[in-house]
Amino acid sequence: MQLSPQVEEEAKPGGLSKKNRPGMGDHTDSRRDLIGILINNARMSDLNERTSDLRESVEARLSDLRTHVNARFDEMWDTWRSDLRRVEEVLDARLRWKKR
């Protein structure tokens, strides 16, 4: 029985290389690779955009929190100062009374 030249080539230990296979030339591989690269690039762009959005959101929240904390510290400072002034007045009054 006589085998076709293609079958004989495939039967060899190395078989047919991609370049010699019918319908599987370099163009198909390069297109497949290019499509993979483009898909990965699109995914990386989406990831970069999401990361940027997340960073902006976190920065905005931290800015709001910082503003709120600063306002609370200012309020507490004013309260503390007024309480200390009251304590000072009471101590001064007691010292004056004791000096009599």
Which pLDDT tens digit goes with each residue over 5-45? 665 666 666 555 555 555 555 567 888 888 888 899 999 99
Instruction: Say if CB 60 and CB 53 are below 8 A apart.
Output: no
- Is pTM beyond 0.85? Reply is no
Q: Which residues contact 43 (CB under 8 A, 6 or more apart)?
A: none
Using alpha carbons, select from 24, 47, 26, 44 the residue that is nearest to residue 36: 44
Asked if pLDDT for residue 2 goes beyond 90, the answer is: no
What whole-number distance in Å separates Cα of residue 83 and Cα of residue 22? 92
> Six-digit token pair at 48?
């970069």
User: How confident is the model over 69-98, as a mean pLDDT?
Assistant: 90
